[in-house]
Amino acid sequence: MSSGSSKDEFRSGFVCFVGRPNTGKSTLTNAMVGQKIAITSSRPQTTRHTIRGIVHREHAQLILVDTPGLHRPRTLLGQRLNDLVRDTYSEVDVIAVCIPADEKIGPGDRWIVQQVKQMAPKTTLLGVVTKIDKVGRDQVAQQLVAVSELLGPEADVVPVSAVKGEQVEVLVDVIASKMPEGPAFYPDGELTDEPEETLMAELIREAALEGVRDELPHSLAVVIEEILPREENEDLLDVHALLYVERPSQKAIVIGKRGTRLKEVGTAARKQIEHILGTRIYLHLHVKVAKDWQRDPKQLGKLGF
């Protein structure tokens, strides 16, 4: 069997990117899918839902499962997120460990690899050295060797720059070659199987977190209350969303002086949502305080966790 035969048979399966915060996982997801679907933010723990990006190619279909990051749980929410992660890992075909080219491998990376190997010992591991546009060739080469040593001799390691689009297709091919043969799971043209409300909520959440100090990330949840077409204009959707925070002080941050910040959030999120839905929307955003919701099982359930 020649090495070229891997492309003759259609392959499909599930892949999960793991890595410390800010290692470029979401950016890579978006580069492979070709549209913004995973929320990207420079702040740890912004991904809360298993957003699946779907990569369609002639010879393969890859379903990218974006898990909430692995972390040591401190709250009930943390525990639930970790359980979600554990379930996801055991169900995917490939786990790709993302490590940036411009940072030395540290204890956080080692901890993640150790967790992955414990949770999903049978799943194929793959190394991805991200952000190769930030360093010279020598440093990329050194990092490839280091990642290879970290993961073990069976794991392939691929260097990429999602921002510049370098080697993204090579990575797609390498992942595809490790997938089982089988038909596509989703019709061509679908980019994600997330319900639109979830995507909307994530995009609003991302916009609200942009540029805010560290006191917000975990304390912000977004719930889409309703989506209604305008009676006089069917092409316009009214989207009503609630932003929940834990303390009145956080409510003030989200709203901003005279409501300026909430307006900016609405504008940024609206553009993204319209791009995904292909239709005009009007966003109605309201901020509410739900005291200590992360530690309250009842409230967690209500907010969709």
Cα–Cα distance, 111 to 106 (Å, whole number)? 9
DSSP 198: H
- Cite the annotated binding site by residue number: 19-26, 66-70, 130-133
Q: What is the identity of the amino acid at 66?
A: D
Cα–Cα distance, 24 to 5 (Å, whole number)? 31
CB atoms within 10 A of CB 236: 14
Q: Name the strands in the sheet holding 280-289, side by side, starting at the edge strand that comes first in the sequence.
A: 221-229, 236-245, 280-289
- Written as one string, the DSSP assignment of 30-44 is HHHHTS--S---SST
Cα–Cα distance, 65 to 167 (Å, whole number)? 20
Cα–Cα distance, 19 to 115 (Å, whole number)? 11
Asked if residue 246 lies in contact with residue 294, where contact means CB atoms within 8 angstroms, the answer is yes
- Cite the annotated binding site for GTP by residue number: 19-26, 66-70, 130-133
Residues 6+ away with beta carbon under 8 Å from 121? none
Cα–Cα distance, 232 to 222 (Å, whole number)? 28
Structure token digits, residue 97: 């460990």
CA 116 to centroid of chain Cα atoms: 17
Asked if residue 126 lies in contact with residue 178, where contact means CB atoms within 8 angstroms, the answer is yes
